[in-house]
């Protein structure tokens, strides 16, 4: 099975990338390489597999057989150990100019194994304005064998000058049936659970996998979808907001705790903690203190981002719920992401109007925008829950 066979529901994008990989091989062999370029922008909704598509393309560029899926080159790309692959994953709320300049220097080197040097930049939309300008210069004048693969939700999330210099690969939300098939065949998930997870995740492959395999993930979703029913007064709105934010904080703490501890231990070892010798101790005192402070700042930023990402996932579940309410109100014959809460959907559809439902969806999207603008999560979510309770105010 080739590397592109893992791209669920992305046949059109896979065909484009296969042709480009063949063109890349032709270019290396001295041909024109028509169809291959040095800068690519992978776009698509959350869960569509932007990073997976970029990684598959990388394997196809490195592989002598253009992505066979089982050679050493393909395996090294899959595990992230290939010496000519640089993977960038912004850990905090943004990716700054200092990090970008260091990245550009690393990307300027010649390929170790002679084919390509690839930079796979996940969440490239998190680059600051200064970082984006520095990245633009690198993309405008790349070394002969350096390929930039940028990933972002939408072309509009990138500077127009950057996206105009990239070839855009647009991924789509995979069909529910395709995601369910992957869960059933590759993860041995029972068919009924696979269908539920795929439908509830709305085509988001990683989230569908978590819902199918992790009981805690299903419990968190259940808690979020119980919010609309619980909003019977202003006090209940405040309590619901507090629960949602607290759950996000706990999950973010659990996700980052292990990473934080290992990073701090590694940094202390680098600066000589536990070693003997005056030189090492001076190095720890002088250099280590500043490095440790920088690391702690990055860890705080990562924890904040993780918390907001968790809240945002919950808000998207609520958007799906109210969209399903709207579908019930109009009698639309569509697949409902919240089919497992059919009784709640029908009750809310009966006691409210489509206009109310639209106002509620607007309130959730407004909350998402506020969170992206660094509004206090507690305040933003409280405002949202009150609007869900009283949509006409």
Residue 366 lies in a domain: yes
Neighbours of 340 (CB within 10 A): 16
Q: Verify that 130 and 24 share a domain, yes or no.
A: yes
Query: Residue 278: pLDDT above 80?
Result: no
Q: Cα–Cα distance between 115 and 76 in angstroms, integer?
A: 14
Q: What is the per-residue pLDDT across 126-140, written as a single tens digit (0 to 9) for each?
A: 999 999 999 999 999
Say how many domains are in the chain: 3
Domain with 133 in it: what CATH number?
Answer: 3.40.50.300
Residue 229 lies in a domain: no
Please enumerate in sequence order all residues whose Cβ is within 8 A of that of 123, keeping only pairs 6 or more positions apart, or say none.
Answer: 89, 90, 95, 151, 152
163/287 same-domain check: no
8 A C-beta contact, residue 125 and residue 158: yes
> Which pLDDT does position 286 carry in this prediction?
54
Q: What is the pLDDT of residues 97-118, one digit of tens each?
A: 999 999 999 998 899 987 999 9
| Whether pLDDT at 198 is above 50 | yes
The parent domain of residue 315 ranges over: 234-389
For the stretch 361-364, contacts whose Cβ atoms lie closer than 8 Å and that sit 24 or more positions apart, written own/partner, are 361/319, 361/322, 361/323, 361/326, 363/387, 363/388, 363/391, 364/315, 364/318, 364/319, 364/322, 364/388
Q: Are residues 51 and 99 in the same domain?
A: yes
Decide: 318 and 240 in contact? Cβ < 8 Å.
no
Q: What count of other Cβ atoms lies within 10 Å of the Cβ of residue 304?
A: 16
In this structure, the answer to whether residues 256 and 207 fall within a common structural domain is no
Q: Longest Cα pair distance anywhere in the chain, in angstroms?
A: 77
Q: Are residues 201 and 331 in the same domain?
A: no
């Amino acid at each position: 099975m080739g590397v592109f066979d893992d791209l669920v529901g992305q046949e059109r994008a896979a065909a484009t990338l296969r042709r480009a990989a063949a063109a890349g091989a032709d270019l290396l062999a001295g041909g024109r390489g028509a169809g291959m370029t040095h800068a690519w922008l992978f776009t698509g909704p959350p869960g569509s597999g932007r990073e997976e598509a970029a990684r598959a393309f990388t394997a196809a560029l490195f592989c002598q057989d253009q992505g066979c899926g089982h050679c050493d080159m393909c395996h090294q790309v899959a595990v992230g150990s290939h010496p000519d692959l640089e993977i960038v994953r912004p850990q905090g709320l943004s990716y700054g100019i200092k990090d970008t300049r260091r990245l550009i220097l690393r990307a300027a080197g010649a390929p170790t194994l002679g084919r390509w040097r690839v930079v796979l930049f996940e969440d490239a939309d998190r680059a600051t304005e200064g970082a984006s300008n520095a990245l633009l210069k690198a993309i405008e004048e790349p070394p002969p064998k350096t390929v930039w693969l940028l990933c972002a939700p939408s072309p509009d999330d990138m500077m127009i000058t950057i996206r105009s210099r990239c070839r855009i690969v647009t991924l789509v939300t995979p069909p529910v049936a395709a995601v369910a098939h992957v869960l059933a065949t590759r993860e041995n998930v029972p068919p009924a659970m696979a269908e539920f997870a795929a439908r509830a995740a709305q085509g988001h492959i990683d989230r569908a996998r978590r819902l199918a395999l992790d009981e805690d993930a299903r419990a968190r979703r259940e808690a979020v979808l119980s919010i609309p029913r619980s909003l019977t007064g202003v006090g209940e709105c405040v309590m619901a907001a507090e629960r949602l934010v607290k759950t996000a904080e706990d999950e973010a703490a659990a996700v980052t705790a292990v990473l934080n501890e290992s990073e701090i231990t590694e940094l202390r070892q680098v600066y000589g903690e536990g070693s003997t010798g005056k030189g090492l101790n001076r190095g720890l005192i002088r250099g280590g203190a500043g490095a440790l402070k920088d690391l702690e700042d990055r860890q705080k930023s990562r924890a904040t981002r993780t918390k907001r990402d968790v809240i945002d996932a919950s808000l998207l579940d609520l958007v799906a719920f109210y969209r399903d309410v709207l579908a019930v109100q109009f009698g639309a014959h569509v697949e409902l992401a919240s089919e497992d809460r059919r009784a709640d959907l029908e009750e809310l559809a009966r006691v409210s109007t489509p206009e109310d439902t639209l106002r509620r969806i607007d309130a959730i999207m407004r909350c998402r925008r506020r969170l992206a603008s660094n509004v206090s999560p507690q305040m933003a979510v409280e405002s949202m829950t009150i609007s869900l309770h009283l949509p006409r105010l």
